[in-house]
Chains A and B, each alone.
Chain A
Amino acid sequence: MRRLAVAALLALLLPASASAACPELRTLEGELMCPTCETTLELSNAPAANQIRRFVCERAAAGDSNGEIKDKLVADFGPGVLASPPKEGFDLLAWALPLLALGLGAAAIAVLVVRWSRAREPELAVDEPSSNGRPELDPALEKRLDDELARFE
Chain B
Amino acid sequence: MGQIAAIGLVAGLLALLVWKVAGGSESEVEGLRNGKTPPAPGFSLPRLGGGGKLSLESYRGKAVVVNFWASWCIPCKAEAPLLEQAWRRYRDRGLVVVGVNSQDLSSDARRFAKEVGWTYPLVRDGAGDILGPYAVAAFPETFFVDRRGKLVARVDGEVSEDDLASNIELALA
- Residues of chain A touching chain B, judged by Cβ–Cβ distance below 8 Å, are 35-36, 47-48, 50-52, 55, 75-78, 80
How far apart sit A35 and B72, CA to CA, in the bound complex (Å)? 12
B side interface size, CB within 8 A:
15
How far apart sit A51 and B72, CA to CA, in the bound complex (Å)? 7
User: Would B103 and A36 count as touching, CB distance under 8 A?
Assistant: yes
User: Would B72 and A47 count as touching, CB distance under 8 A?
Assistant: yes
How far apart sit A77 and B106, CA to CA, in the bound complex (Å)? 9
A71 shortest CB reach to chain B, Å: 14
User: Would A77 and B103 count as touching, CB distance under 8 A?
Assistant: yes
How far apart sit A68 and B72, CA to CA, in the bound complex (Å)? 23
User: Would B106 and A76 count as touching, CB distance under 8 A?
Assistant: yes
Determine which of B103, B106, B129 lies in contact with A48 in the assembled complex, contact meaning CB atoms within 8 Å: B103
B151 shortest CB reach to chain A, Å: 23
B137 shortest CB reach to chain A, Å: 10
How far apart sit A77 and B107, CA to CA, in the bound complex (Å)? 12
Smallest CB gap from B138: residue in A? A36
Assuming A47-B73, A77-B103, is B108 touching A35 (CB within 8 A)?
A: no
Majority DSSP secondary structure for residues of B touching A: loop
How far apart sit A15 and B138, CA to CA, in the bound complex (Å)? 26
How far apart sit A77 and B129, CA to CA, in the bound complex (Å)? 10
B106 shortest CB reach to chain A, Å: 5
Decide yes or no whether B104 CB sits under 8 A from chain A: yes
B117 shortest CB reach to chain A, Å: 21
What residues of chain B lie closer than 8 Å to A35, measured between beta carbons? Answer: 103, 128
How far apart sit A55 and B138, CA to CA, in the bound complex (Å)? 22
A107 shortest CB reach to chain B, Å: 12
Decide yes or no whether B127 CB sits under 8 A from chain A: yes
A93 shortest CB reach to chain B, Å: 15
How far apart sit A63 and B127, CA to CA, in the bound complex (Å)? 26
Decide yes or no whether B63 CB sits under 8 A from chain A: no
How far apart sit A77 and B103, CA to CA, in the bound complex (Å)? 6
Decide yes or no whether B126 CB sits under 8 A from chain A: yes
User: Would B72 and A48 count as touching, CB distance under 8 A?
Assistant: yes
Decide yes or no whether B70 CB sits under 8 A from chain A: yes
How far apart sit A62 and B153, CA to CA, in the bound complex (Å)? 45
For this complex, 17 residue pairs linking A to B, each with C-beta atoms less than 8 Å apart, are A35-B103, A35-B128, A36-B103, A36-B138, A47-B73, A47-B74, A48-B104, A51-B71, A51-B72, A51-B104, A52-B105, A76-B105, A76-B106, A77-B103, A77-B126, A78-B127, A80-B128
